[in-house]
Amino acid sequence: MQEVPDTWEELETSSVSTEAPGSEEDSKDSKSRFHRDLQNLNKAVAKWQRHGVADVEARIRCSKAAQQLRLRDNFDEEHFVQSVLKRCAQGSPT
């Protein structure tokens, strides 16, 4: 079993893939897609927080990034949600 990174930020450069690669190009595409999903989530969370949206945590849990991470073993959803919130609170949405 592959080791899971401590934070979701490390997944951007992790060799762990969200899908079983069919080829090297497929693997790069899925990694790139996942990276974009994480960036989009960070931007969305920052926007939701600026506008005072009440259900930010629920929206993070429903995000494409969270959906992809649920497919992995040992995904700690609560840790992921708190990491996203912490990252946005530090003023670094991307």
* Residues 19/26, Cβ–Cβ less than 8 Å: yes
**How many helices (H) and strands (E) would you count in the chain?**
4, 0
The predicted-structure confidence for 4-55, as pLDDT tens digits, reads as follows: 555 555 555 444 443 444 555 666 777 788 899 999 999 999 999 999 999 9
Q: What is the rounded CA–CA span in Å between residue 60 and residue 70?
A: 12
Instruction: Please give the helix or strand (H or E) that residue 82 lies within, else none.
Output: helix 77-89
Angstrom distance (rounded) from CA 61 to CA 80: 9
At 73 the pLDDT is: 87
pLDDT of residue 91: 75
Q: What is the largest CA-CA distance in the chain?
A: 43
Q: Tell me which amino acid residue 31 is.
A: K
For residue 37, what pLDDT is reported?
Answer: 94
